[in-house]
C-alpha cells in the first residue's frame, strides 16, 4: 500500500438531477448573481428620481429638474427643419446649353445664307428666262407683220426686269428653304432674309450672339426664362439694324434662348443636410429645470418627463436601468477577473466569496445612509480594511478600488467619493498590512481619517477655493474615515466567527498560553508543551525565511500535539521516570496509541472551538509517515515475519497541504531527532536535519504543498541555526563550597 493510499478520501458528491448544486462554481455564480442584483437595486435607489403624476396642462407646485442629460428631439427637429428651409436651392450652370444656344443661332444664320443662295439661284434663273423671253420677242418682231396678223397664236412679250415675289418665290421655294432652318419661320421672315443686306445680317448675328451670351453667362433659371425673353426682345429693338430685321432677330433669339441654370437636387439636399447637421442639439443638462413651478406643463415637456421616467406610468427609464446594470456588471467583472487570475483558490471557497459579497453590499448600504448627511461622510474605506485583515492586502486593494467605483456611481458619477474611498482606503490598507494587534485598527482608522481629510481638503480647494467650507469638508471626511474604522473594528469578530476566518489578531490571541487548551497542555504535559514551543520557534523562523505565514506556523505548532493530553505518559517527553508503558505493549498496539493522538487532537480542537485552519496542523504534521521505532520492534519480535508491513505502521494522513503545515512537520521531526542525538555539534545537527528532510521528500510527504528545493534548503539552514542556539555547549562550572569560602574570608 502506497503512502497516498492512506490519505483521507475526498468527499463524495452525490450524483443525481441536482448534482451541479454541489459544485463550488455553481455557488460562486449564485453569489455573483445575488451581489449584482443587490448592488443594482441599491444604486438604482440612489439614482432613481422622484416620479410625478402629471399630464399636459397641469401646474406643478415645484420645478422639475432633469436627472440626467436628455436631448429634446422635437425642438432639435424643428431647428433642423428651419436650417434646411434657410438653404436656397442650388443651381448648376450648364455650359453645354450655352454652347447649344450659340450653335442654334449659328445654325439659323447658316440657314439664312443657304436661303439667300437659293433665292439668288431663283433670281439667276429669272434672269435667264428674261433673256430668253427678250430674244424670243426680238425674233418675233423681225418676222413679217402679215404673217403675225394672220396667225391666231398670241405673240410673246419680254419678261419684266424686276419680277414680282410671287413670280420668284413660289410655294415650293418656301418649302425648300424652310428645311434649311432648325425652327419654323414665317414666309415674311424668309422674304426679309432674302432681301436683307448681308452686312445687316452679319451685324444682327454678332449683336444677337453677344446679347444671348451675356444673358447665359449670368445664368437663366427656368422660371426666369420668360423675363429674359422680354429683355432679349427689348435688346433687339435697341440694336442699330434695319427695322425690318428686328422682328427676325427677336424670333431667332427667343426661339433659341434656353434656361442654362439647372436645379441640382442632390447638391441641394446635401447642403440642406449639412445645415441640419450643424444645428446644435437642444439638450436639457442634468439639474436643468424642464418644467417650472407654477407654469402649465406642455405636451413636449410631458414627452421629455416620460422619457426620463419621471412620470408615474408603466414606462421606465431604460437608459438609466441599462447604464446602472452595465456599470455594476463591469465592476463585478473586474473583481471576477482578478479572482480568476490571481486568487483562483478562493473560487473553491464559496463561503469566502459570500463574505466578500456581504461586506461589499453592507459597506455600500452604510455609505448610502451616511451620504444623506454630507457627501464627504464616506466610510467606504472599511471594505478594503476589513478584507485586508480577513484575507490579504492584495484583495483589500482590489476591492477598495471596486468599492470606490461603485460609490462614485452611487453618488451620480461624481469624482470626490471615488477619490476619498480610494485614497483613504489605501492609507488604511497600508497601515494594516502587517497587523497583529487589534489596536492596530485604531491607528489604521486614524490614518484613514487623515487620508480622507487630506483628500476632502484638496477637492474643496479645487472646487470652492477654500474658506470655511474647506475646514468643514475636511472634518466630514475625517469623520467618515473614523466611522469606517470603528465599523471595521466592531464587526471584525462577527466576520471571524460567522465565516470561520482566522485573522492575524485571532492567531495572536490563540497563541496566548492562557488559552484553556494550551493551559492544560502546559500543566498536564509540560514535556509536550516545551516540545511545541521549540517547534514553534523553528517553524516561525523557517516560514518567515521562505515568505510563508510565520505567525500561522507558530500558532499551528502550539496546537499540533494537543492530542497527547488524552494519554500523556505514553509519549517519551512526558515520562518522568524510566518506566515506559510501551515496553509491556505489543508494537502494533503502541503504534495505534501513538497515532491516535492525531484523532484525539481533532476531537479536543472541536471541543475547545479551535479554528479549522489549525486542524490541518493536527492532522498533517505527521502526514502518512511510519512510526519507525515500533515497526522495527515488531519486525525484530517477529523474526522477519513477512506479515509485518511498513504501511500498517503509518499515520492516516493526509500529507501537508500548505507550506506552513509542511514546515511544522519538518520542525516536529527535527526537534525530536536532534534531541535524541548525543553529538550536538553544528555540523552533525545540520547533516541530520538534511537527512530527515530528504527522507520525508523521498517518502512523498511534500507532494501536495508548494515547497521548492530552494525553500527546503533555506528551511534546513534556518533549522540548523535555531537548533544550534538551543543545544549550544555550556561552560563547565568548577565545584565550589560557598559556605567554606565564606568562613575562610
CATH number 1.10.3210 is the correct assignment for the domain at 512-726: yes
Higher pLDDT, 414 or 599: 599
Q: What is the pLDDT of residue 16?
A: 47
Residues with Cβ within 8 Å of 567's Cβ and at least 6 positions away in sequence, in order, are 593, 596, 597, 600
CA atoms within 13 A on the CB side of 639: 0
Among candidate residues 380, 379, 397, the one with its CA nearest the CA of residue 388: 397
Whole-angstrom distance, CA of residue 349 vs CA of residue 332:
18
Q: What is the pLDDT of residue 536?
A: 94
- For residue range 567-588, list pLDDT tens digits in order: 888 887 777 776 778 778 888 8
101 and 257 Cβ atoms separated by less than 8 Å = yes
Residues in the chain: 745
Whole-angstrom distance, CA of residue 174 vs CA of residue 412:
93
Domain boundaries, the chain: 92-263, 318-501, 512-726
Residue 378, pLDDT above cutoff 70: yes
Q: pTM of the prediction?
A: 0.63
Tell me the three state secondary structure of residue 281: coil
- For residue range 82-136, list pLDDT tens digits in order: 888 888 888 888 888 888 888 888 888 888 888 878 877 777 777 777 777 777 7
Among candidate residues 352, 298, 331, the one with its CA nearest the CA of residue 27: 352
Q: Are strands 283-284 and 70-71 parallel, antiparallel or unpaired?
A: antiparallel
Whole-angstrom distance, CA of residue 468 vs CA of residue 322:
40
- For residue range 618-675, list pLDDT tens digits in order: 999 999 998 888 888 887 776 556 677 878 888 988 999 999 999 999 999 998 888 8
Q: Where are the alpha helices (DSSP H) in 343-381?
A: 350-371
Q: What is the pLDDT of residue 9?
A: 38
Whole-angstrom distance, CA of residue 80 vs CA of residue 386:
56
Residue 194, pLDDT above cutoff 50: yes
Whole-angstrom distance, CA of residue 192 vs CA of residue 194:
5
Q: What is the pLDDT of residue 91?
A: 83
Residues with Cβ within 8 Å of 293's Cβ and at least 6 positions away in sequence, in order, are 60, 61, 62, 63
Whole-angstrom distance, CA of residue 190 vs CA of residue 112:
8
Among candidate residues 369, 454, 363, 459, the one with its CA nearest the CA of residue 403: 363
220 and 228 Cβ atoms separated by less than 8 Å = yes
700 and 625 Cβ atoms separated by less than 8 Å = no
CATH code at 318-501:
1.10.1760.20
Q: Using 50, 70 and 90 to split pLDDT, how confident is the model at 337?
A: very high
∠ CA(321), CA(323), CA(325), 5° rounding?
65
Q: Using 50, 70 and 90 to split pLDDT, how confident is the model at 156?
A: low
Of 249-258, 533-542, 711-720, the least confident = 249-258
61 and 293 Cβ atoms separated by less than 8 Å = yes
Residue 402, pLDDT above cutoff 90: yes
Query: Would you tell me the crossing angle of helices 73-85 and 299-307 to the nearest 10 degrees?
Result: 120
Q: Using 50, 70 and 90 to split pLDDT, how confident is the model at 541?
A: very high
Give percent of the chain with pLDDT exceeding 70: 84
First-to-last C-alpha distance (Å) of the chain: 74
Q: What is the pLDDT of residue 739?
A: 60
In this structure, what C-alpha cell is assigned to residue 287?
Answer: 439639474
Residue 742, pLDDT above cutoff 80: no
Residue 322, pLDDT above cutoff 80: yes
In this structure, what C-alpha cell is assigned to residue 390?
Answer: 480577513
Tell me the three state secondary structure of residue 58: coil
DSSP, residue by residue, 709-744? HHHHHHHHHHHHHHHHHHS---PPPPP--HHHHHHH
**Mean pLDDT of the residues in the chain:** 81
Q: What is the pLDDT of residue 637?
A: 76
Mean pLDDT of 489-493: 85
Among candidate residues 110, 100, 92, the one with its CA nearest the CA of residue 256: 100
Q: Are strands 283-284 and 261-263 parallel, antiparallel or unpaired?
A: unpaired
Residue that is written with C-alpha cell 424668309 in the block: 190
Of 214-228, 275-289, 459-473, 556-570, the least confident = 459-473
Amino acid at each position: 500500500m502506497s503512502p497516498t493510499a492512506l490519505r483521507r478520501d475526498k468527499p463524495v458528491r452525490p450524483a443525481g438531477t441536482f448534482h451541479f448544486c454541489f459544485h463550488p462554481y455553481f455557488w460562486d455564480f449564485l453569489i455573483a448573481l445575488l451581489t449584482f442584483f443587490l448592488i443594482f437595486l441599491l444604486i438604482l435607489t440612489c439614482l432613481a428620481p422622484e416620479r410625478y403624476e402629471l399630464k399636459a396642462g397641469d401646474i406643478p407646485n415645484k420645478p422639475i429638474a432633469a436627472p440626467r442629460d436628455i436631448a429634446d428631439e422635437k425642438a432639435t427637429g424643428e431647428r433642423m427643419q428651419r436650417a434646411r428651409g434657410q438653404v436656397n436651392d442650388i443651381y448648376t450652370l450648364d455650359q453645354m446649353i450655352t454652347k447649344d444656344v450659340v450653335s442654334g443661332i449659328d445654325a439659323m444664320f447658316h440657314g439664312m445664307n443657304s436661303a439667300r443662295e437659293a433665292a439668288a439661284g431663283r433670281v439667276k434663273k429669272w434672269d435667264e428666262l428674261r433673256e430668253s423671253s427678250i430674244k424670243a420677242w426680238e425674233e418675233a418682231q423681225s418676222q413679217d407683220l402679215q404673217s403675225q396678223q394672220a396667225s391666231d397664236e398670241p405673240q410673246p412679250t419680254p419678261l419684266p426686269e424686276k419680277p414680282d415675289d410671287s413670280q420668284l418665290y413660289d410655294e415650293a421655294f418656301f418649302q425648300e428653304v424652310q428645311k434649311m432652318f432648325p425652327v419654323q419661320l414665317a414666309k415674311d421672315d424668309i422674304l426679309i432674309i432674302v432681301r436683307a443686306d448681308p452686312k445687316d445680317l452679319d451685324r444682327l448675328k454678332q449683336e444677337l450672339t453677344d446679347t444671348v451670351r451675356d444673358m447665359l453667362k449670368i445664368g437663366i433659371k427656368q422660371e426666369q426664362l420668360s423675363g429674359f425673353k422680354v429683355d432679349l426682345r427689348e435688346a433687339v429693338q435697341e440694336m442699330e439694324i434695319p427695322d425690318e430685321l428686328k422682328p427676325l432677330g427677336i424670333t431667332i433669339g427667343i426661339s433659341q434662348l434656353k434656361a442654362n441654370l439647372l436645379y441640382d437636387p442632390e447638391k441641394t439636399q446635401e447642403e440642406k443636410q449639412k445645415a441640419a447637421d450643424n444645428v446644435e442639439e437642444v439638450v436639457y443638462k442634468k439639474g436643468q429645470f424642464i418644467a417650472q413651478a407654477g407654469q402649465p406643463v406642455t405636451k413636449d415637456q410631458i414627452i421629455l418627463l416620460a422619457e426620463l421616467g419621471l412620470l408615474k406610468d408603466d414606462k421606465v427609464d431604460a437608459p438609466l436601468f441599462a447604464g446602472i446594470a452595465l456599470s455594476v456588471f463591469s465592476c463585478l467583472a473586474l473583481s471576477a477577473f482578478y479572482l480568476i487570475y490571481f486568487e483562483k483558490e478562493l473560487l473553491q471557497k464559496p463561503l469566502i466569496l459570500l463574505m466578500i459579497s456581504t461586506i461589499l453590499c453592507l459597506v455600500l448600504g452604510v455609505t448610502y445612509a451616511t451620504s444623506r448627511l454630507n457627501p464627504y461622510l464616506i466610510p467606504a474605506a472599511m471594505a478594503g480594511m476589513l478584507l485586508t485583515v480577513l484575507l490579504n492586502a492584495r484583495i483589500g486593494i482590489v476591492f477598495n478600488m471596486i468599492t470606490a467605483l461603485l460609490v462614485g456611481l452611487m453618488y451620480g458619477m461624481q469624482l470626490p467619493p471615488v477619490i476619498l474611498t480610494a485614497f483613504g482606503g489605501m492609507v488604511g490598507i497600508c497601515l494594516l498590512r502587517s497587523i497583529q494587534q487589534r489596536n492596530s485598527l485604531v491607528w489604521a482608522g486614524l490614518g484613514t481619517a487623515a487620508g480622507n481629510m487630506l483628500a476632502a481638503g484638496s477637492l474643496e480647494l479645487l472646487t470652492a477655493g477654500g474658506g470655511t467650507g474647506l475646514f468643514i469638508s475636511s472634518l466630514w471626511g475625517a469623520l467618515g474615515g473614523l466611522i469606517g474604522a470603528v465599523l471595521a473594528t466592531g464587526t471584525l469578530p462577527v466576520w471571524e466567527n460567522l465565516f470561520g476566518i482566522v485573522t492575524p489578531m485571532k492567531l495572536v490571541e490563540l497563541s496566548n498560553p492562557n488559552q484553556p487548551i494550551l493551559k492544560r497542555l502546559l500543566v498536564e504535559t509540560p514535556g509536550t508543551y516545551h516540545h511545541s514551543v521549540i517547534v514553534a520557534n523553528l517553524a516561525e523562523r523557517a516560514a518567515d525565511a521562505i515568505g510563508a505565514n510565520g505567525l500561522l506556523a507558530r500558532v499551528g505548532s502550539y496546537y499540533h500535539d494537543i492530542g497527547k493530553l488524552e494519554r500523556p505518559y505514553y509519549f517519551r517527553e512526558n515520562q518522568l521516570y524510566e518506566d515506559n508503558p510501551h515496553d509491556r505493549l505489543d508494537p502494533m498496539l503502541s503504534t495505534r496509541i501513538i497515532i491516535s493522538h492525531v484523532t484525539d487532537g481533532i476531537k479536543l480542537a472541536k471541543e475547545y472551538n479551535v479554528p479549522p485552519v489549525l486542524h490541518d496542523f493536527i492532522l498533517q504534521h505527521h502526514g502518512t509517515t511510519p512510526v519507525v521505532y515500533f515497526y522495527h520492534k515488531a519486525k525484530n519480535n517477529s523474526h522477519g515475519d513477512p506479515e509485518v508491513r511498513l504501511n500498517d505502521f503509518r499515520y492516516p494522513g493526509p500529507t501537508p497541504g500548505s507550506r506552513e503545515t509542511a514546515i511544522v512537520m519538518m520542525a516536529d521531526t527535527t526537534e525530536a531527532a536532534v534531541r535524541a542525538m548525543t553529538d550536538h555539534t553544528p555540523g552533525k545537527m545540520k547533516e541530520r536535519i538534511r537527512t530527515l528532510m530528504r527522507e520525508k521528500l523521498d517518502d512523498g510527504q511534500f507532494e501536495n504543498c508548494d515547497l521548492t528545493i530552494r525553500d527546503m534548503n533555506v528551511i534546513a539552514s534556518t533549522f540548523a541555526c535555531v537548533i544550534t542556539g538551543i543545544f549550544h555547549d555550556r561552560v563547565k562550572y568548577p565545584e565550589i563550597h560557598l559556605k567554606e569560602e565564606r568562613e575562610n574570608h
